[in-house]
Structure 1
Amino acid sequence: MSTPPETYISRMNKASFFSPTAGRIIDAPRETKARFGIGDVVRHKNHDFRGVIFDIDPVFANSEEWYESIPLNVRPRRDQPYYHLLAENEESSYVAYVSQQNLMDDAEGGPVDHPSLSQIFEDFDNGRYHLRRGLTH
Protein backbone atom coordinates (compact mmCIF):
# COMPACT_ATOMS: atom_id res chain seq x y z
CA MET A 1 0.00 0.00 0.00
CA SER A 2 1.49 3.35 -0.94
CA THR A 3 1.47 6.40 1.31
CA PRO A 4 -0.44 9.42 0.02
CA PRO A 5 1.69 12.52 -0.65
CA GLU A 6 0.27 14.17 2.48
CA THR A 7 -0.29 12.07 5.58
CA TYR A 8 -2.22 13.27 8.60
CA ILE A 9 -0.64 12.52 11.95
CA SER A 10 -2.86 12.37 15.01
CA ARG A 11 -1.80 11.63 18.58
CA MET A 12 -5.01 10.01 19.90
CA ASN A 13 -6.90 13.33 19.70
CA LYS A 14 -4.58 14.85 22.31
CA ALA A 15 -2.92 18.21 21.82
CA SER A 16 0.25 17.17 23.64
CA PHE A 17 2.64 14.23 23.97
CA PHE A 18 5.72 13.34 26.03
CA SER A 19 9.02 13.42 24.15
CA PRO A 20 11.73 11.29 25.80
CA THR A 21 14.37 13.09 23.72
CA ALA A 22 13.25 16.51 24.90
CA GLY A 23 12.46 15.19 28.39
CA ARG A 24 9.20 17.14 28.52
CA ILE A 25 5.61 17.31 27.29
CA ILE A 26 5.31 18.85 23.83
CA ASP A 27 2.24 20.84 22.85
CA ALA A 28 1.11 19.99 19.34
CA PRO A 29 -1.91 20.63 17.14
CA ARG A 30 -4.44 17.82 17.00
CA GLU A 31 -3.62 17.24 13.33
CA THR A 32 -0.46 17.99 11.40
CA LYS A 33 0.04 17.69 7.66
CA ALA A 34 3.16 15.66 6.99
CA ARG A 35 4.55 15.75 3.46
CA PHE A 36 6.41 12.43 3.87
CA GLY A 37 5.56 9.09 5.48
CA ILE A 38 7.36 6.34 7.33
CA GLY A 39 9.41 4.32 4.84
CA ASP A 40 9.92 7.19 2.40
CA VAL A 41 13.44 7.86 1.16
CA VAL A 42 14.28 11.57 1.35
CA ARG A 43 17.22 13.91 0.87
CA HIS A 44 18.28 16.98 2.85
CA LYS A 45 17.95 20.18 0.81
CA ASN A 46 21.12 21.83 2.13
CA HIS A 47 23.39 19.04 3.35
CA ASP A 48 24.69 16.07 1.40
CA PHE A 49 22.80 13.18 2.99
CA ARG A 50 19.76 11.05 2.38
CA GLY A 51 17.80 8.64 4.53
CA VAL A 52 14.67 6.65 5.22
CA ILE A 53 12.02 8.00 7.60
CA PHE A 54 11.34 5.77 10.60
CA ASP A 55 9.36 8.15 12.85
CA ILE A 56 7.60 11.52 12.66
CA ASP A 57 7.01 14.16 15.32
CA PRO A 58 4.09 16.50 14.54
CA VAL A 59 6.19 19.47 15.75
CA PHE A 60 9.74 19.96 17.05
CA ALA A 61 10.27 17.51 19.93
CA ASN A 62 14.02 17.42 20.52
CA SER A 63 16.07 19.14 23.24
CA GLU A 64 16.40 22.89 23.54
CA GLU A 65 20.18 22.46 23.44
CA TRP A 66 19.91 20.74 20.05
CA TYR A 67 17.62 23.47 18.70
CA GLU A 68 19.80 26.32 19.98
CA SER A 69 22.89 24.73 18.39
CA ILE A 70 21.48 25.47 14.92
CA PRO A 71 22.65 28.87 13.64
CA LEU A 72 19.82 31.39 13.89
CA ASN A 73 19.94 32.30 10.19
CA VAL A 74 19.14 28.69 9.18
CA ARG A 75 17.17 27.52 12.23
CA PRO A 76 13.89 25.89 11.09
CA ARG A 77 10.50 26.73 12.57
CA ARG A 78 9.28 24.56 15.45
CA ASP A 79 5.67 24.34 14.23
CA GLN A 80 6.15 21.79 11.45
CA PRO A 81 6.69 18.03 11.29
CA TYR A 82 10.17 16.75 12.18
CA TYR A 83 11.39 13.44 10.81
CA HIS A 84 13.67 10.79 12.32
CA LEU A 85 15.86 9.34 9.58
CA LEU A 86 18.20 6.41 9.22
CA ALA A 87 20.64 8.57 7.29
CA GLU A 88 23.73 8.06 5.18
CA ASN A 89 26.34 10.14 3.43
CA GLU A 90 29.53 9.10 1.66
CA GLU A 91 31.41 8.66 4.96
CA SER A 92 28.98 7.16 7.47
CA SER A 93 25.53 6.07 8.61
CA TYR A 94 23.74 7.78 11.49
CA VAL A 95 20.35 8.89 12.81
CA ALA A 96 19.22 12.40 11.80
CA TYR A 97 16.39 14.65 13.00
CA VAL A 98 15.24 16.98 10.22
CA SER A 99 12.48 19.55 9.77
CA GLN A 100 10.00 19.15 6.94
CA GLN A 101 11.18 22.40 5.29
CA ASN A 102 14.67 20.90 4.89
CA LEU A 103 13.62 17.66 3.17
CA MET A 104 12.78 16.75 -0.40
CA ASP A 105 12.07 13.56 -2.32
CA ASP A 106 15.19 11.57 -3.11
CA ALA A 107 15.83 11.61 -6.86
CA GLU A 108 18.21 8.60 -6.67
CA GLY A 109 15.33 6.29 -5.86
CA GLY A 110 17.61 3.51 -4.65
CA PRO A 111 17.87 1.81 -1.27
CA VAL A 112 19.62 3.38 1.72
CA ASP A 113 22.66 1.63 3.21
CA HIS A 114 22.18 1.80 6.99
CA PRO A 115 22.99 -1.00 9.47
CA SER A 116 19.70 -0.55 11.41
CA LEU A 117 17.36 -0.85 8.40
CA SER A 118 16.65 -4.55 8.87
CA GLN A 119 15.53 -3.96 12.49
CA ILE A 120 12.71 -1.63 11.38
CA PHE A 121 11.92 -2.41 7.74
CA GLU A 122 11.25 -5.62 5.82
CA ASP A 123 11.90 -4.73 2.21
CA PHE A 124 12.50 -1.96 -0.30
CA ASP A 125 9.91 -1.84 -3.06
CA ASN A 126 8.85 0.82 -5.54
CA GLY A 127 11.10 3.49 -4.02
CA ARG A 128 10.12 3.06 -0.38
CA TYR A 129 10.59 0.78 2.61
CA HIS A 130 7.88 -1.28 4.31
CA LEU A 131 7.75 -1.58 8.11
CA ARG A 132 8.24 -4.97 9.68
CA ARG A 133 4.81 -6.43 10.34
CA GLY A 134 5.15 -6.32 14.15
CA LEU A 135 6.02 -2.61 14.11
CA THR A 136 2.98 -1.17 12.34
CA HIS A 137 0.33 0.76 14.28
Structure 2
Amino acid sequence: MKQRDAKFAIGQVVRHKVFPFRGVIFDVDAEYSNTEEWWNSIPAEVRPDRDQPFYHLLAENDEAEYVAYVSEQNLMSDTDPMPLRHSQVDMFFDPESAGHYKPKAVIQH
Protein backbone atom coordinates (compact mmCIF):
# COMPACT_ATOMS: atom_id res chain seq x y z
CA MET A 1 0.00 0.00 0.00
CA LYS A 2 1.40 3.37 -0.97
CA GLN A 3 0.99 6.26 1.46
CA ARG A 4 0.79 9.81 0.20
CA ASP A 5 0.74 13.22 1.70
CA ALA A 6 -2.57 14.59 2.91
CA LYS A 7 -4.08 17.28 0.67
CA PHE A 8 -5.63 19.18 3.60
CA ALA A 9 -4.06 20.36 6.88
CA ILE A 10 -5.06 20.58 10.52
CA GLY A 11 -6.89 23.87 11.01
CA GLN A 12 -8.14 24.04 7.43
CA VAL A 13 -11.86 24.55 6.80
CA VAL A 14 -13.32 22.06 4.34
CA ARG A 15 -16.70 21.18 2.88
CA HIS A 16 -18.13 17.77 1.98
CA LYS A 17 -18.60 17.34 -1.78
CA VAL A 18 -21.92 15.48 -1.46
CA PHE A 19 -23.47 16.21 1.93
CA PRO A 20 -24.27 19.74 3.16
CA PHE A 21 -21.74 20.23 5.93
CA ARG A 22 -18.46 21.99 6.56
CA GLY A 23 -15.90 21.78 9.32
CA VAL A 24 -12.36 22.32 10.53
CA ILE A 25 -9.82 19.49 10.47
CA PHE A 26 -8.47 18.56 13.90
CA ASP A 27 -6.70 15.28 13.04
CA VAL A 28 -5.59 13.31 9.97
CA ASP A 29 -5.14 9.56 9.47
CA ALA A 30 -2.81 8.58 6.61
CA GLU A 31 -5.33 5.87 5.71
CA TYR A 32 -8.62 4.55 7.06
CA SER A 33 -8.38 3.67 10.76
CA ASN A 34 -11.96 3.57 12.03
CA THR A 35 -13.89 0.39 12.90
CA GLU A 36 -15.04 -2.35 10.53
CA GLU A 37 -18.59 -1.72 11.73
CA TRP A 38 -18.37 1.94 10.65
CA TRP A 39 -16.82 0.92 7.31
CA ASN A 40 -19.56 -1.62 6.61
CA SER A 41 -22.27 0.92 7.47
CA ILE A 42 -21.29 2.91 4.36
CA PRO A 43 -23.30 1.72 1.33
CA ALA A 44 -20.93 -0.21 -0.96
CA GLU A 45 -21.77 1.95 -4.00
CA VAL A 46 -20.46 5.10 -2.25
CA ARG A 47 -17.81 3.53 0.02
CA PRO A 48 -14.46 5.30 -0.50
CA ASP A 49 -11.09 3.60 -0.87
CA ARG A 50 -9.32 2.90 2.43
CA ASP A 51 -5.91 3.80 0.99
CA GLN A 52 -6.21 7.58 1.26
CA PRO A 53 -6.11 10.14 4.06
CA PHE A 54 -9.16 10.36 6.32
CA TYR A 55 -9.93 13.51 8.26
CA HIS A 56 -11.48 14.12 11.68
CA LEU A 57 -13.61 17.26 11.53
CA LEU A 58 -15.45 19.48 13.96
CA ALA A 59 -18.37 19.58 11.56
CA GLU A 60 -21.63 21.50 11.31
CA ASN A 61 -24.66 21.89 9.11
CA ASP A 62 -27.81 23.99 9.49
CA GLU A 63 -29.23 21.66 12.15
CA ALA A 64 -26.35 20.25 14.20
CA GLU A 65 -22.73 20.23 15.33
CA TYR A 66 -20.86 16.92 15.41
CA VAL A 67 -17.56 15.16 14.77
CA ALA A 68 -17.20 13.68 11.28
CA TYR A 69 -14.71 11.21 9.79
CA VAL A 70 -14.37 11.82 6.05
CA SER A 71 -12.21 10.49 3.21
CA GLU A 72 -10.06 12.93 1.26
CA GLN A 73 -11.93 12.17 -1.99
CA ASN A 74 -15.13 13.55 -0.44
CA LEU A 75 -13.70 16.89 0.73
CA MET A 76 -12.89 20.21 -0.89
CA SER A 77 -11.54 23.50 0.44
CA ASP A 78 -14.22 25.76 1.87
CA THR A 79 -14.06 29.38 0.74
CA ASP A 80 -17.00 30.64 2.83
CA PRO A 81 -15.66 33.53 4.95
CA MET A 82 -18.19 32.86 7.73
CA PRO A 83 -16.50 31.52 10.88
CA LEU A 84 -17.56 28.11 12.10
CA ARG A 85 -20.04 28.15 14.97
CA HIS A 86 -19.17 24.66 16.30
CA SER A 87 -18.97 24.94 20.10
CA GLN A 88 -15.63 23.10 20.32
CA VAL A 89 -13.71 25.16 17.75
CA ASP A 90 -12.61 27.76 20.33
CA MET A 91 -11.31 25.01 22.63
CA PHE A 92 -8.80 23.81 20.03
CA PHE A 93 -8.21 26.68 17.61
CA ASP A 94 -7.69 30.41 17.25
CA PRO A 95 -9.01 32.12 14.11
CA GLU A 96 -6.14 32.80 11.73
CA SER A 97 -7.58 33.80 8.37
CA ALA A 98 -10.64 33.06 6.28
CA GLY A 99 -10.77 29.31 5.79
CA HIS A 100 -8.08 28.47 8.34
CA TYR A 101 -7.69 28.14 12.09
CA LYS A 102 -4.45 27.97 14.07
CA PRO A 103 -4.21 25.13 16.62
CA LYS A 104 -3.91 26.46 20.17
CA ALA A 105 -0.58 25.86 21.87
CA VAL A 106 -0.61 22.89 24.22
CA ILE A 107 0.54 23.83 27.70
CA GLN A 108 2.54 21.09 29.42
CA HIS A 109 2.30 20.90 33.24
TM-score under structure 1 normalisation?
Answer: 0.73
**For residue 125 of structure 1, what is the aligned residue in structure 2?**
97
1:45 aligns with 2:17: yes
How many residues align? The count is 107
**For residue 57 of structure 2, what is the aligned residue in structure 1?**
85
Cα deviation digits, residues 65-122 of structure 1 (max 9, x gap): 0000000000000000000000000001000000000000113132111011111112
Q: What code does the residue aligned with 1:108 have? A: D
Runs of 4+ aligned structure 1 residues displaced above 6 Å come to: none
Q: What CA distance in whole angstroms lies between the structure 2 residues aligned with 1:108 and 1:96?
A: 19
Relative contact order: is structure 1 or structure 2 higher (C-alpha 8 Å, sep ≥ 6)?
Answer: 2
1:72 aligns with 2:44: yes
**Which piece of structure 1 moves more, 101-110 or 74-83?**
101-110
User: Whose strand proportion is higher, 1 or 2?
Assistant: 1
Gaps of 5+ in 2: none
Aligned with 2:74 (options 94, 102, 109): 102
TM-score under structure 2 normalisation?
Answer: 0.91
Q: What code does the residue aligned with 1:63 have? A: T
Q: What CA distance in whole angstroms lies between the structure 2 residues aligned with 1:105 and 1:129?
A: 13
